[in-house]
């Protein structure tokens, strides 16, 4: 029995080292890809300036070429009819022609240098793009390896949870459901319900204005009333969207997620959200779509509310076997080893992923932001 325990312990240590090594390699590859993207943008900007300079130098070269031809013509005329001109005029014609020819030579040399620099930058762009594509591909492959290591091999020790914590978490789920019902009730009462009550009052006012002040003022009040109805309709649709986005059933996960992130960015002017989709254009089972949407939604809201992030990156990959979601922010971060009393958001996300036989990993440290990696296998 002791031998078996020892072997299990040694195996766990080996797996921990393997996962740690692969995870570090993935981070290094990711950093290489990110640095290449920064360099790519920098070269794009430089290339744009170089092209503008090339165009400007070509214009300058054409102007100088015309002036050189005119100066040569003038010098030829002075040389041919030198008896008509004095020595100073001849010298001036020569010096002007020489000066313009020198400027033209320098300008042509500058154009050559700029063209060579432009060609070099374009070649570097091709190389950087290949590196970026390769890094993204490698990150995907490493994620598959991590999924294998963490789910298939390490599952014996990965999903052991304390019974008391499970019970407490179950109670918190019930409390969260009740809180959600209260929140929804308040939203409907303070939003659409109040607006509809206001519509009823304004409709009575329209009738009164029609009798006492005439048609024009009643029509004006009706126009105002229509805007109130539109606002109420918007609020109802927003509440429905929060409960379940209808576009998820019609369009699928990717378009719905893209629209959601755009809306969040519009409402939060100080936040930039970058959405990257890699993989096949395909639908996944509905239970996975709603789960992934809620997981990304929860991650983004946490980054906004708790981490004060100004930059959020959401990467989604769907291939034939697995869905991978990566949510990364530049917020204040937190100590993942510290357990705060009464906080069950991340635990709830982890439970939701595990119900779909997936894996949930979070990496965060104070002052360095947070990265969440979600991997869910595709099953019919």
- Strand pairing category for 272-279 and 311-318: parallel
Residues 287 and 183 both lie in one domain: no
The partner residues of 311 in beta bridges, in order of sequence, read 272
pLDDT of residue 149: 64
**CATH number of the domain encompassing residue 20:** 1.10.287.950
93's tokens:
């014609």
- Per-residue pLDDT of the chain in tens (380 residues, 90 and over written 9): 433 444 556 666 776 777 777 777 777 877 887 888 888 888 888 888 888 888 888 888 888 888 888 878 877 777 776 667 677 777 787 888 788 888 888 888 888 888 888 888 888 888 888 888 887 887 787 777 767 666 655 454 544 444 455 555 555 655 655 565 666 666 666 666 676 766 777 677 767 777 777 777 777 777 777 777 777 776 666 566 566 666 677 788 888 888 888 888 887 888 999 999 987 767 888 888 888 888 998 899 889 888 889 999 999 998 888 999 999 999 898 888 776 654 556 777 888 888 888 999 999 888 889 999 999 998 76
Last residue of a domain, one of 243, 277, 302: 243
Shared-domain flag, residues 226 and 266: no
CA distance 219 to 196: 19
Residue pair 334/366 in contact (Cβ under 8 Å)? The answer is yes
The pLDDT assigned to 6 comes to: 41
Beta strands in the chain, from DSSP E residues, in sequence order = 272-279, 311-318, 322-329, 359-364, 370-377
Residues 59, 194 within the same domain? no
Q: Would 190 be classed as within a structural domain?
A: yes
Of the three residues 110, 138, 158, the one that is the final residue of a domain is: 158
Q: Which residue has the tokens 């325990």?
A: 5
For residues 286 and 223, state if they share a domain.
no
User: In sequence order, what are the residues at sequence separation of 6 or more whose Cβ sits closer than 8 angstroms to the Cβ of residue 67?
Assistant: 100
| Rounded alpha-carbon distances, angstroms, from residue 86 to 4, 83, 90, 98 | 111, 7, 6, 19
Is residue 7 in a domain? no
Both 215 and 278 in one domain: the answer is no
As a whole number of angstroms, the distance between CA 37 and CA 315 comes to 15
Sign of the Cα torsion 238, 240, 242, 245 reads negative
- 88 plus 144 within the same structural domain: yes
Strand-by-strand arrangement of the 370-377 sheet: 272-279, 311-318, 322-329, 370-377, 359-364
3-state secondary structure of 285: coil
Considering the domain architecture, whether residues 213 and 299 belong to the same structural domain is answered as no
In 3D space, the residue among 285, 284, 180, 178 whose CA is nearest the CA of residue 242 turns out to be 180
pLDDT of residue 325: 93
CB-based contacts of 82: which residues, under 8 Å, 6+ apart? 90
Task: Give the model confidence (pLDDT) of 279-311 as tens digits.
Answer: 776 788 888 888 888 899 889 988 988 888 999
The reported pLDDT for the residue numbered 126 is: 86
In a domain, 78, yes or no: yes
- Domain limits at 149? 14-158
Q: How many domains does the structure of the chain reveal?
A: 3
């Amino acid at each position: 029995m002791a031998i078996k325990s020892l072997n299990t312990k040694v195996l766990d240590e080996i797996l921990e080292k393997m996962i740690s090594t692969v995870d570090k390699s993935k981070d290094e590859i990711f950093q290489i890809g990110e640095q290449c993207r920064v360099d790519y943008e920098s070269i794009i900007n430089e290339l744009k300036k170089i092209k503008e300079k090339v165009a400007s130098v070509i214009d300058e070269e054409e102007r100088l070429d015309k002036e050189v031809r005119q100066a040569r013509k003038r010098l030829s005329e002075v040389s041919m009819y030198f008896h008509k001109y004095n020595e100073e005029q001849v010298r001036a014609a020569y010096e002007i022609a020489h000066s313009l020819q020198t400027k033209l030579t320098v300008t042509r040399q500058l154009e050559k240098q700029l063209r060579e620099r432009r060609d070099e930058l374009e070649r570097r762009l091709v190389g950087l793009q290949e590196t970026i594509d390769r890094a993204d591909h490698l990150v995907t492959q490493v994620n598959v390896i991590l999924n294998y290591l963490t789910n298939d091999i390490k599952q014996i020790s990965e999903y052991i949870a304390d019974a008391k914590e499970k019970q407490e978490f179950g109670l918190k789920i019930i409390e969260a459901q009740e809180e959600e019902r209260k929140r929804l009730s308040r939203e409907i009462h303070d939003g659409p319900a109040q607006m509809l009550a206001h519509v009823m009052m304004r409709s009575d006012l329209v009738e009164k204005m029609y009798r006492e002040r005439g048609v024009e003022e009643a029509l004006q009040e009706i126009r105002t009333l229509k805007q109130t109805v539109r606002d109420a309709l918007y609020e109802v649709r927003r509440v429905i969207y929060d409960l379940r986005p209808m576009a998820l059933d019609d369009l699928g996960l990717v378009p719905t997620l893209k629209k959601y992130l755009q809306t969040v960015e519009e409402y939060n002017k100080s936040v930039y959200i970058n959405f990257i989709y890699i993989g096949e254009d395909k639908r996944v089972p509905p239970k996975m779509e709603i789960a992934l949407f809620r997981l990304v939604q929860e991650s983004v809201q946490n980054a906004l509310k708790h981490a004060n992030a100004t930059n959020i990156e959401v990467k989604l990959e769907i291939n034939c076997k697995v869905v991978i979601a990566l949510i990364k922010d530049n917020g204040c971060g937190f100590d993942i080893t510290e357990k705060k009393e009464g906080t069950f958001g991340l635990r709830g996300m982890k439970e939701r992923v595990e119900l779909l036989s997936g894996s949930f990993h979070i990496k965060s440290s104070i002052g360095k932001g947070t990265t969440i990696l979600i991997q869910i296998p595709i099953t019919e």
